[in-house]
Structure 1
Amino acid sequence: MGTRGVIAASEPHTAAAGVRVLQRGGNAVDAIVAAKLAATVTELPLTSLGGGGACVWGDARDGYEVLDFFGAAPGLGLAGWPILDFAPITVDFGETSQVFHIGKGAAAVPGQLVGLLALHRRAGRLPLHEVVAPAVAWARDGFRVSPQIAAIAGLIAPIASNSATVRRLFQPDGRLPRAGDRLANPDLGDFLQGLADGSPAAQVATFHRSLVEHFAPTQGGLIGEQDVASYAPLAREPLRIPFGPFTVLSNPPPSAGGGLIGVGLRIAEELGLGGEEFRSPAHQLAVAAVLATVSEVRGAGYDHRLHADPEAIRQLVAGGSLPQWARLARTLCRENGLGATTHISVIDAEGMAAAMTTSNGEGCGHSLPGLGIHVNNFLGEDDINPAGFHRLAAGSRMSTMMSPTIVLAGDRPRLALGSGGSNRIRSAILQTLLNVLAYGRPLDEAVNASRQHIEGRQLWFETAGLAAGAADALQARWPGATRFASASMFFGGVNCVASIDGRLAGAGDQRRGGIVMFADDRTATALPD
């Protein structure tokens, strides 16, 4: 049979877990669930069973679906507002910084544990104990910390030191882990083994009891029994975005990211992007015009419509009228010459694709005692609370920029991709899609080419690899722009796999340690140390 599949992820252990499952006869969903469970151990600063996410998956035979297991706003049944444990911290990216809020009052109702279990039930075919096994082994026996994960742990040092329960996870020896250190999480290993032993419902109940005990209003949080009892993953129809001969499938409302990517693709097609020399001043200014217009779209009541009129978003990206935005983008071109999240992508040899993005935010700085699970701070991120903190109605599914995406050629998957990176997710995925679909660049170049992001009137951009004059052209249009001399994790981490004429390929984003692995059925892959 040869190659059973390809996986792109942000950490070697994560990718190896997926490869092992593919080699044992699993499909793309088995592989992505195994990889994500492993990531809750080996990508501790980025993802957790106390976080949330979304996955788009499917194949030509059975169609495609999105499972939304992102966080929900807590507080159901509260008679009054408690005193919250909620405080700001700053994460320094070097050239720029970003403020987040942590504490138990920053924790939304998490969906990742129940989401992964639901996805495996819906579409996996291997028994759960085989899917969980790699994560259990690394949690109990330890794993070697990658340079990327060590660097990210350093970025969130104030969070990793916030409480005794979190220090136990990040600093068992009294300091943050360095690259090559061995790190274990035996409490999480025992919890995961409980899933493998055939009692996932009991483990979910244990998890929920701990959330209610330690994140209740009496503890400075907002999570109560009604919140966890009412939470369930939601199956949704993907957004369908036409782009030339392709159809792009992405995360629908109430996610913000998929629709904004769709608007960007529609505007790019309207402008005819693709004829400019890649990395040239004309190319960079044209892309900046699209990104600036996408930012304008978000500022024009877009987030409100995600909840109030989600069907309007679907119609907009499927072929609805975009005249005002197209005019704005043309004006920009004419006048000017124009997050902690992790993503896994898989395509298997049978033609099933899966793309999953998950996050713990930056983590709230508190873990569940005895379970080894760091809980999210989704209620403390500006980007997913555009109306202000603690404004969303209790029980509502939160919006997210997460945009796991599959590109179809006909009805078969051509690409599966996504990115981490907070509000930069939409820009990272949109530029990667344009690099491949409009500019025809090879996959690795498309993923790792210099990147931009625009938010309101502010531009951030990388200069490495740009043609002469391109950086100066951008700076002239946005005098206050922030330059990055080299690739930075600030701009996300796109991990992409592809199936082209029956050949599997992949590219990992070096900004966040991206790695690609192939599952070869002739040679078993040993789990890394």
Structure 2
Amino acid sequence: MRRMTNRRSARLLALITATAAIGTVGAVLAPAGAGTTDGSAQPKKEPVAVGHGGAVSSVDPDASAAGIKVLKQGGNAVDAAVATAAALGVTEPYSAGVGGGGYFVSYDAKSGEVRTLDGRETAPMSADEKLFQEDGKALPFDEVVTSGLSVGTPGTPATWEKALDKWGTKSLRNVLTPAERLARKGFEVDETFRQQTADNEERFRNFPDTVDLFMPGGELPEVGSTMRNPDLARTYRTMGRDGAGALYDGPVADDIVDTVRKPPAGKDAEKKIRGGDLTAKDLSAYEVKKQAPSRTEYRGLDVFGMAPSSSGGTTVGEALNILERGDLGELSKKELLHRYIEASRVAFADRGRWVGDPAAEDVPTEELLSQRFADSRACLIKDDEVLKSPVAPGDPRDPSDCGSGDKATPTPYEGESTTHLTTADKWGNVVAYTLTIEQTGGSGITVPGRGFLLNNELTDFSFEPVDPDVHDPNLPGPGKRPRSSMSPTIVLDEGKPAFALGSPGGATIITTVLQTMINHVDRGMPLDKALNAPRASQRNAAKTEIEPKLYDSDVRPELEELGHAFTKIPELGAATAVQPLPDGRWLAAAEKERRGGGSAMVVRPGKK
């Protein structure tokens, strides 16, 4: 990777943008208290907060308040991240929870090290490449997504426990307490929660336990009503007493297995609900992987992300390496968007061919992140024309200028749910954590009496080879982790945190993180502004998805004249971020509008 001629210029850029952020957000201060988790009033939702003592940013004010509470009690960023995630399991149960998995990226201020945990769900040991095939044909997606067949062994409980054991200062019982209280006392239903329930109503009505939990009285929850989950409160209490192992061995684990193998569908279920083959041995054998992060250098900054089984770190990294060749800050909006779209297109072509679970596949991670490979792919991009999709992948093991190897394949569908949180503490530790149960509502199946939905994460596997003539690294296999796009990212400047960010959104996570970084680093936008800017997402497809503000702007016809084609969609992602400021304060940033807006909080708001 080529470095900037003067390394200090990267530091100066970070200082300028951080200083700009202070002026932008200094007067917008989020509440410091812990809201309903300690019995006080509903915490106010604010998208930006600045102050001392640490920061938390998530999509939900009750969840952010849970993390702040732990920080105020002397916990560190890891403790706060687990507390926030547990609360999200209450208030964002359709996006995350103990029935799912995720990726945990952490910066340790004392050692300067970035470390990661792969808590991705795994397929049953009985799974093979034909897991989602019948009579030689792929099963319909709609038939698999709402079934036990789509459920992988959850990784979230084990991730929480390992993160705390390795790097936390509080016990699992301690950090689960705010979420347990929140589940018992309830949270206020907002429009987003009601709409997500409505979107899943048809699926949910197949399962009486899901209806009882999320549709009290059989009706959609009203905005402003209180949603309680005493079953989840009991599950959290069990985990606090017995450890995360309670979900991998014992009565709760038995209930998970029984639910997957024989989904508790009602007598009025409109169609037969397939069972899965998850066993008690699959649960008891699950392990979180502690592994090295992905790493690339961009404009003098060190970008750390999640290595495979996630494709987030390699795909974001490759796209950044492609874009490093030019000075994006000097380009017009049209020119910058063109290069960003084309770099994304090429990086996704390589992602689809090469990235899978490294325990089962030969994934050339180091080569995908090499500048040599990026340069060989960057020469495909022209300023005056658009690449035709799908673009064929290159060969990172033997790169040749503008060369392509195997046949081009499109990017398969990934659910657009998931949630992301970022935390920081007074010692300078930082966490970026993305967790999920796959698409909104997961499998739709609630474990009876336990208060949580099971994931449908195995649908992230390819149901059949994308191309029969090309090896697909993302086919199912025994104990295999499906490829993910989750991209929790921590960026360092000379060994110190510059900022951390991430987002939900399926495969659009990668482009959300990439575009936010470009906005901040190359265009000089304050981090909160970069996060809230209009987005586009190109994933090696004929059309690029763009949000309304870009679709309705003057730049769209300019790009269309160049050859781009677009699809307008309501929103892309729901990102959160944290950043240390030069005066010792923390900036926490979340969405202003997407997914109903996010919640940024700090321990002690203000300048002192």
Instruction: Check whether the contact 1:306–1:313 (CA below 8 A) recurs between aligned residues.
Output: no
Q: Is 2:415 the counterpart of 1:366?
A: no
Aligned to 1:180: 224
In 2, the alpha carbon distance for the partners of 1:384 and 1:54 equals 23
- Work out which of the residue numbers 88, 91, 94 in structure 2 matches 1:39: 88
- Work out which of the residue numbers 65, 69, 81 in structure 1 matches 2:119: 69
In 2, the alpha carbon distance for the partners of 1:354 and 1:482 equals 34
- Work out which of the residue numbers 389, 398, 403 in structure 1 matches 2:482: 398
Deviation at 1:156, TM superposition (A): 2.8
Against the structure 1 CA distance between its residues 81 and 400, is the aligned structure 2 distance closer, same or farther, given a 3 Å change threshold?
A: closer
Against the structure 1 CA distance between its residues 416 and 100, is the aligned structure 2 distance closer, same or farther, given a 3 Å change threshold?
A: farther
Aligned pairs for 1:171-250 within 5 A: 171-197=215-241, 199-202=243-246, 204-205=248-249, 206-216=251-261, 220-250=275-305
TM-score, length basis structure 1: 0.87
Aligned pairs for 1:276-355 within 5 A: 276-277=331-332, 280-303=333-356, 307-310=360-363, 312-329=364-381, 331=382, 333-336=383-386, 339-355=416-432
Deviation at 1:161, TM superposition (A): 2.6
Against the structure 1 CA distance between its residues 452 and 478, is the aligned structure 2 distance closer, same or farther, given a 3 Å change threshold?
A: farther
SS at match of 2:369: helix
- Who wins on radius of gyration, i.e. which is larger? 2
Measured against aligned partners, the alpha-carbon deviations of 1:466-523 in whole angstroms (never above 9, x if no partner) come to: 8963011233445642124xxx34x11111111132331121123122221111299x
SS at match of 1:422: coil
Instruction: Check whether the contact 1:76–1:226 (CA below 8 A) recurs between aligned residues.
Output: no
In 2, the alpha carbon distance for the partners of 1:390 and 1:236 equals 20
Measured against aligned partners, the alpha-carbon deviations of 1:434-490 in whole angstroms (never above 9, x if no partner) come to: 111111101121001111111322211124168963011233445642124xxx34x
Aligned pairs for 1:163-178 within 5 A: 163-178=207-222
In 2, the alpha carbon distance for the partners of 1:478 and 1:351 equals 46
| Uncovered stretches (5+) of structure 1, i.e. residues with no partner | 90-98, 523-529
Aligned to 1:526: none
Deviation at 1:104, TM superposition (A): 1.1
Measured against aligned partners, the alpha-carbon deviations of 1:100-122 in whole angstroms (never above 9, x if no partner) come to: 82211111111111111111111
Aligned to 2:577: 496
Q: Is 2:75 the counterpart of 1:26?
A: yes
| Uncovered stretches (5+) of structure 2, i.e. residues with no partner | 1-50, 264-273, 388-415, 467-471
Q: Is 2:597 the counterpart of 1:520?
A: no
In 1, the alpha carbon distance for the partners of 2:146 and 2:99 equals 14
Q: How many residues align?
A: 500
Aligned to 1:131: 175
Deviation at 1:286, TM superposition (A): 2.3
Q: Is 2:428 the counterpart of 1:375?
A: no
Q: Which amino acid is the alignment partner of residue 211 of structure 1?
A: I
Q: Is 2:520 the counterpart of 1:470?
A: no
In 2, the alpha carbon distance for the partners of 1:465 and 1:237 equals 37
Q: Which amino acid is the alignment partner of residue 328 of structure 1?
A: L
Instruction: Check whether the contact 1:57–1:66 (CA below 8 A) recurs between aligned residues.
Output: yes
Q: Which runs of 4+ in 1 moved over 6 A?
A: 80-84, 382-386
Against the structure 1 CA distance between its residues 165 and 381, is the aligned structure 2 distance closer, same or farther, given a 3 Å change threshold?
A: farther
- Work out which of the residue numbers 498, 504, 508 in structure 2 matches 1:414: 498
**46-55 vs 67-76, which moves further:** 67-76
**172-181 vs 194-203, which moves further:** 194-203
Against the structure 1 CA distance between its residues 212 and 303, is the aligned structure 2 distance closer, same or farther, given a 3 Å change threshold?
A: closer
Higher relative strand content = 1
Against the structure 1 CA distance between its residues 236 and 308, is the aligned structure 2 distance closer, same or farther, given a 3 Å change threshold?
A: same
Instruction: Check whether the contact 1:241–1:247 (CA below 8 A) recurs between aligned residues.
Output: yes
Instruction: Check whether the contact 1:420–1:494 (CA below 8 A) recurs between aligned residues.
Output: yes
Instruction: Check whether the contact 2:82–2:175 (CA below 8 A) recurs between aligned residues.
Output: yes
Q: Which amino acid is the alignment partner of residue 188 of structure 1?
A: L
In 2, the alpha carbon distance for the partners of 1:454 and 1:385 equals 23
Measured against aligned partners, the alpha-carbon deviations of 1:309-365 in whole angstroms (never above 9, x if no partner) come to: 33x222431544323311112x2x23259x110000011121100010000112112
Against the structure 1 CA distance between its residues 306 and 150, is the aligned structure 2 distance closer, same or farther, given a 3 Å change threshold?
A: farther
Against the structure 1 CA distance between its residues 296 and 204, is the aligned structure 2 distance closer, same or farther, given a 3 Å change threshold?
A: closer
Q: Which amino acid is the alignment partner of residue 111 of structure 1?
A: G
Deviation at 1:299, TM superposition (A): 4.1
Instruction: Check whether the contact 1:356–1:404 (CA below 8 A) recurs between aligned residues.
Output: yes
